[in-house]
Structure 1
Amino acid sequence: MDLPADNDSTIAQQLIDKFTSKKAVIGVVGLGYVGLPLAVEKAKAGFQVIGFDIQQQKVDMVNRGENYILDVADEELKQVVDQGKIMATSEYSFIQKVDAVAICVPTPLDIYKQPDLSYVRSSTEQIAKHLKPGMLIVLESTTYPGTTEEVLKPILEASGLKCGTDFFLAYSPERIDPGNAHFKTKNTPKVVGGATLLCTKMAATMYRSVLEGDVHEVSSAAVAEMEKVYENTFRNINIALANEMAILCDKMGLNIWEVIQAAATKPYGFMPFYPGPGIGGHCIPIDPFYLTWKAREYNYHTRLIELAGEINTSMPEFVVEKISKILNEEGKPIKGSIIYLLGITYKKDISDVRESPVLLIAQILQNRGATIISSDPYIDTWSDGKQLYQTVPVTKDQLQKADIVVITTDHSKFDYKEIATTSQVILDTRNALNNQDTVSKYYRL
């Protein structure tokens, strides 16, 4: 991409040359499940990378080449650290050394289910203190449409530099799918939208110099912000439909998993989504609320999105009621029963418990007087917000003494044959046994 030789375009061309020659120094703010994989990929591509995090423990681990993120290969992090391609710091002054910086900080909800942009704001304010001509700033954190230009741009321009002329600003949403064996940061297509057309081009150039996946340019940062929220809202709504169908099939005595399997034979017009004990993680339970909050600014009520949220958040209660009915058939109340939860994380084969519906299930069961034991091969301890639990290895003795075994997360490491043939009573919320022979009393969601 060659630009005319005026002062503004000269700044842009110099940065483009740095990207294409891999001479740019790139910063990453936030070394969590989004930031660290991105930092490693940039380092692997040949760039000098400086990572920032407020947690000194993460900084120290990165500098020692010690990995703590499932989607980063241990040996890849160690290699780029040993090569001097990546280092970490907890001092924002590192911004003075970089040509581009990606913001990958949390965007949670507050107690009123409203967007909490405090991490984004504080990061941007710190970057503004060290902003220099020719820098590119890209926000990757999921947020509502308008954030990049309404929140970040004024903060950065308060430095006296002008967006699109002196510095470049864009939004490119993260698309991390924890535990996905095929799609990682490097090969997942990237969407980029800038505050100006030139900002878009600058950000796209950087990502094309790093990633193997396609880089799709859109007309504005707001479009890129909207498409990210739309992606997760799409999943949220379709999971809610699967959950509602599961509730109805349960009442009608039908197997929802068989229904979905049959529907999935249609080669067009249907995409299978599956029910479960609820939704978890940082994206699907949270992102739709960003859109519903922003919609109020336009006097619009997102009824379908909010209803889907209600259905999904009601699933832990449904699971508990199902447990209660099964125990009643055995002549047992929840109070005093030993309930064995298999899997605590929100998704199979990962160690992330954020927003896991299992935490609420445990809390409700605990409040009703149940004795809870749990196993999860990816975590040693967990808390439902009130009590700290220690996970235990799965043994025949544990399975046999439990009044009911509840498969809440379908980790691949579980021995389902042993679970099926040893447990007294099983409630499978994930269809993990999938018609496997069982001598137990077996119930599905």
Structure 2
Amino acid sequence: MTVLLGCIADDFTGGTDLAGMLVKAGMRTVQLIGVPTEPLPDDIDAVVIALKSRTNPAADAVAESLAALRYLQEAGCKQFYFKYCSTFDSTPTGNIGPVAEALMQALETDFTIACPAFPANGRTIYKGYLFVGNELLSESGMRNHPLTPMTDASLVRVLQQQVSSPVGLADYTVVEQGAAAISERFAALRAQGCRFAIVDAVSNQDLEAIGEACADLPLITGGSGIALGLPENFRRRGLLKRDDAADRLPATGGLRAVIAGSCSVATQRQVAVMREQAPSFHVDALELARGVEVVAAALDWAREHIEQGPVLVYATSTPETVRAVQTQLGVERAGLLVEEALAAIAQGLVRMGVGQLIVAGGETSGAVVKALGVTGLHIGPEIDPGVPWTVGLQAGGTSPLALALKSGNFGSEDFFLKAWSRLS
């Protein structure tokens, strides 16, 4: 067995996003939750190890990422990919730069790129500035993110605060000329002593050209968009055949539920739309802090409603509400209370017979899959750009569970309502 691409994702929804892109491009891909101890499954072309390291202390994120890299190296992967969010979620001292530098050192390489662009979801880079739709990142809803507020849209500036060597830019005047020009720019930046290049991209065609220019880089860092251009590199070398059935999932059944922990603008809209058409239960962090039996109440409520169709359990709130809660409880405690409650509710829902579950939010998804004992994911058909259905590989041989792990920022307003139609 030859595994071509080994990927490390800094959260679970990001890992699913990347794995879905690879499957869509015809690579047989499996996502594993945390660094595994068992050998990889047979007959796969790519593997994504999903960590919960985005908001960990940098030293912990580095250690986890290096452990994942060692596993992928032992599996014989030919190229490596560090995947982070398309909104470059990270504090000035945060984890993207330190993890990337540690991976570069371990791989003995002196150059890589950083390109979180994902045009299909409105994430584009121009002159080194990251846009969300028509807004600069710093003017988008990400400026109010409760854990990683993004108040600077200059990726060169943000990354430079996190790394010890110069960060350069391959801007759009280069990218629009194609892969050969991009490769020349990489060589020029390396000659100038730059170890990182922020790369502009405003379309999928740009991402494909960038991917081609990265064919010989041992390490690539970015969002999931760069994955568009990587499978073709392996095909040019005769290492990969397209598998048009790569997204086929085993059949699942059971009841349906949505758990939403993200407070992003997109998830707020999705929650509002679903609340108009389905029963909903709100999880309040302040009630949790007071010792109210919120989990038991949510599960009692669910038993009364779930047989009639999908139900929604949500902690999603406005930025103003989140800030007020964090002021009273502290950022870390508020987040942990909600994550633990939603994870416990997910466990109860699955015991109740839920076999098809949507989870919104990276931190929430991480807590839920760990609580459910999911060790890996088979990647299936795309619901919206960056969000596929998956079927969990669960400990103990339990029944197959369909999971859609949605980044808080992704998906159309009716995502929670339409997703079920993509399951066979």
TM-score (norm 2): 0.32
Choose 1 or 2 for highest CA Rg.
1
Q: Say which structure is richer in strand.
A: 2
Q: Which has the higher contact order (CA 8 A, sep 6+)?
A: 2
